[in-house]
């Protein structure tokens, strides 16, 4: 199967279960909401070493306090790990940013306490406010008050959707990946946690070093094609990966679908995906089914 002359490899992306949350940060203007969101999503590219995966989902003016807002998606391997990450990142990155407030923006059957624990920073001077069924906390800070919601919705989610773009040159791979990411960002309910949505250092499970759980994806490294069991067709000199996490499997599939089509540009030889033979996760997203 080919799109614009680019081969769509007959393989699948192997995704796995995660837990997800949507956090809404507002501020006096968009720039400060975004500053807080960028700080909160820093060092959140991969659960392999970062504890969570996160990214900015969207900007919005539909907020509880009527101020400009930014939606952030957070993903972790367990509900407890997600709670720990939200406490750390909201407490250290959102509460500290000037003028911000923080709200739950995910309707879910399960919740975790975030504001209900961060309120203790108020040293006994925090105040509770109930609006309908939603409880908020007003925490005194030097600039005024930090308003945040008591609990945040969490749900089972999907991590590890991915595309591999195999190209003739680094320039062609990057151009195709950038086009794919731009198209994928229009899909609600997903984020691409790596810098700019793109990762060059894709990994495989395991290593020749026993102390490492993951190591460089040798089969896709152009400089190693003569030394390993390479998966690179002739003419491929650069590979870039796009990893996508989503609150729903269908959102991940849709993001991969539009990204795959957008990536089929001149200089790209094929589009593939990373899988581990079915051993990593139960969600197998077949590329040819996405575009069939």
Mention every residue, 6+ apart, whose C-beta is less than 8 A from residue 214: 48, 203, 204, 205, 206, 207
Mention every residue, 6+ apart, whose C-beta is less than 8 A from residue 87: 114, 117, 118
CATH number of 2-15+158-291: 3.30.70.520
Q: Tokens for 51?
A: 């504890």
Rounded to an integer, what distance in angstroms lies between the CA atom of residue 158 and that of residue 174? 25
DSSP letter for 93, please.
I
Rounded to an integer, what distance in angstroms lies between the CA atom of residue 249 and that of residue 253? 6
Report DSSP letters for 185-209, one per residue: TTSTTEE--SGGG-BSS-EEE--SS
Provide the residue ranges of all domains of the chain, joining segments of one domain with +.
2-15+158-291, 17-155
58-92 confidence digits (pLDDT tens): 999 999 999 999 999 999 999 999 999 999 999 99
What is the average per-residue pLDDT within 161-168? 98
What's the pLDDT score for residue 77? 97
Q: Tokens for 71?
A: 């939606």
Rounded to an integer, what distance in angstroms lies between the CA atom of residue 54 and that of residue 21? 10
**Domain at 17-155, CATH class:** alpha beta
222-269 confidence digits (pLDDT tens): 999 999 999 999 999 999 999 999 999 999 999 999 999 999 999 999
14-58 confidence digits (pLDDT tens): 999 999 999 999 999 999 999 999 999 999 999 989 999 999 999
Q: Flag whether pLDDT at 280 surpasses 90.
A: no
Q: How many CA atoms, within 13 angstroms, populate the side-chain half-sphere of residue 278?
A: 1
Q: Flag whether pLDDT at 278 surpasses 80.
A: no
Is 2-15+158-291's fold the same as 17-155's?
yes
- On whether the CB atoms of residues 1 and 8 are closer than 8 A, the answer is yes
User: Coil, helix or strand for 95?
Assistant: coil
Rounded to an integer, what distance in angstroms lies between the CA atom of residue 58 and that of residue 120? 30
DSSP letter for 232, please.
P
Stretch (H or E) spanning 48: none
């Amino acid at each position: 199967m080919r799109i614009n002359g680019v081969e769509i490899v007959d393989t699948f992306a192997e995704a796995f279960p995660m837990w997800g949350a949507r956090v809404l940060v507002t501020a006096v203007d968009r720039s400060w909401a975004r500053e807080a969101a960028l700080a909160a999503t820093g060092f959140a590219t991969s659960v392999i070493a970062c504890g969570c995966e996160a990214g900015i989902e969207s900007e919005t003016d539909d907020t509880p306090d009527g101020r400009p807002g930014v939606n952030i998606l957070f993903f972790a391997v367990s509900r407890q790990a997600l709670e720990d990450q939200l406490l750390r990142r909201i407490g250290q990155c959102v509460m500290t940013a000037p003028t911000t407030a923080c709200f739950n923006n995910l309707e879910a059957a399960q919740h975790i306490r975030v504001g209900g624990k961060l309120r203790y920073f108020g040293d006994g001077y925090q105040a509770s406010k109930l609006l309908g069924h939603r409880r908020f906390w007003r925490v005194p800070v030097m600039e005024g008050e930090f308003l945040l919601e008591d609990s945040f919705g969490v749900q089972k989610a999907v991590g590890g959707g991915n595309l591999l773009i195999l190209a003739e040159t680094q320039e062609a791979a990057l151009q195709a990946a950038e086009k794919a990411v731009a198209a994928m960002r229009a899909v609600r309910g997903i984020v691409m946690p790596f810098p700019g949505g793109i990762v060059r250092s894709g990994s495989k499970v395991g290593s020749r070093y026993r102390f490492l759980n993951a190591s460089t994806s040798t089969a896709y490294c152009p400089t190693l094609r003569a030394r390993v069991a390479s998966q690179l067709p002739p003419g491929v000199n650069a590979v870039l990966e796009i990893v996508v996490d989503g609150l729903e499997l269908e959102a991940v599939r849709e993001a991969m679908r539009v990204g795959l089509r957008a990536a089929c540009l001149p200089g790209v030889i094929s589009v593939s995906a990373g899988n581990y033979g079915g051993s990593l996760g139960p969600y197998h997203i077949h590329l040819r089914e996405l575009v069939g």
